Amino acid sequence: MISIIIPALNEEKYLPLLLESIKKQDFSDYEIIVADAGSTDKTLEIAKNYGCKIVGGGLPAKGRNEGAKVASGEILFFCDSDVILTDNFFEKGLEEFKKRNLDLASVRLIPVPKNKVSFFLVNIFYNWLIILTENILPHAAVGIFVKKEIFDKTGGFDETVKLSEDHYFARQAKKLLKANFGILRSVEIFVSDRRFKTDGWMSVGTRYFLCELYSIFIGPVKTDIFKYKFNHYKDNKKL
3-state secondary structure labels for all residues of 164-229:
CHHHHHHHHHHHHHCCCEEEEEEEEEEEECHHHHHHCHHHHHHHHHHHHHHHHHCCCECCCCCCCC
How many angstroms separate the CA atoms of 104 and 101, rounded?
A: 9
Whether 111 maps to a domain, the answer reads: yes
Task: Classify burial at 199, counting beta carbons within 10 Å of its beta carbon; exposed 0-12, middle 13-18, buried 19 or more.
Answer: middle
The answer to whether the Cα torsion of 62, 166, 172, 98 is positive or negative is positive
- In this predicted structure, which of 11-20, 139-148, 220-229 has the lowest mean pLDDT? 220-229
Whether 131 maps to a domain, the answer reads: yes
The pLDDT value given to residue 237: 37
> How many domains does the chain divide into?
1
How many angstroms separate the CA atoms of 228 and 128, rounded?
A: 25
pLDDT confidence tier of residue 205, bands split at 50, 70 and 90:
confident
pLDDT confidence tier of residue 239, bands split at 50, 70 and 90:
very low
pLDDT of 226 above 70:
no
pLDDT confidence tier of residue 235, bands split at 50, 70 and 90:
very low
pTM of the complete model: 0.91
Please compute, for residue 190, the number of CA atoms within 13 A of its CA located in the half-sphere on the CB side: 13
% of the chain surpassing 90 pLDDT: 73
- In this predicted structure, which of 37-46, 103-112, 198-207, 209-218 has the lowest mean pLDDT? 198-207
Whether 224 maps to a domain, the answer reads: no
What is the DSSP annotation of 110-172?
Answer: EEES--HHHHHHHIIIIIHHHHHTTTTS----SEEEEEHHHHHHHTSS-TT--B-HHHHHHHH
Calculate mean pLDDT across residues 154-174: 95
The pLDDT value given to residue 199: 66
CA 52 to chain centre: 18
pLDDT of 123 above 80:
yes
- Please state the φ and ψ torsions of residue 53, each to the nearest 5 degrees: -75, 145
Instruction: Residue 46: give its domain's CATH number.
Output: 3.90.550.10
The pLDDT value given to residue 121: 82
Whether 232 maps to a domain, the answer reads: no
- In this predicted structure, which of 21-30, 50-59, 178-187, 212-221 has the lowest mean pLDDT? 212-221
Calculate mean pLDDT across residues 209-223: 87
Neighbours of 71 (CB within 10 A): 22
Neighbours of 149 (CB within 10 A): 11
Choose among 81, 226, 73: nearest CA to 143: 81
The pLDDT value given to residue 196: 67
Calculate mean pLDDT across residues 126-152: 96
Choose among 171, 206, 193, 144: nearest CA to 7: 144
The pLDDT value given to residue 137: 95
Whether 167 maps to a domain, the answer reads: yes
Whether 161 maps to a domain, the answer reads: yes
Whether 228 maps to a domain, the answer reads: no
How many angstroms separate the CA atoms of 111 and 97, rounded?
A: 23
- Predicted confidence (pLDDT) per residue in 13-48, tens digit: 999 999 999 999 999 999 999 999 999 999 999 999
Whether 237 maps to a domain, the answer reads: no
User: How many residues comprise the chain?
Assistant: 239
Domain range spanning residue 164?
Answer: 2-217
- Predicted confidence (pLDDT) per residue in 78-100, tens digit: 999 999 999 999 999 999 999 99
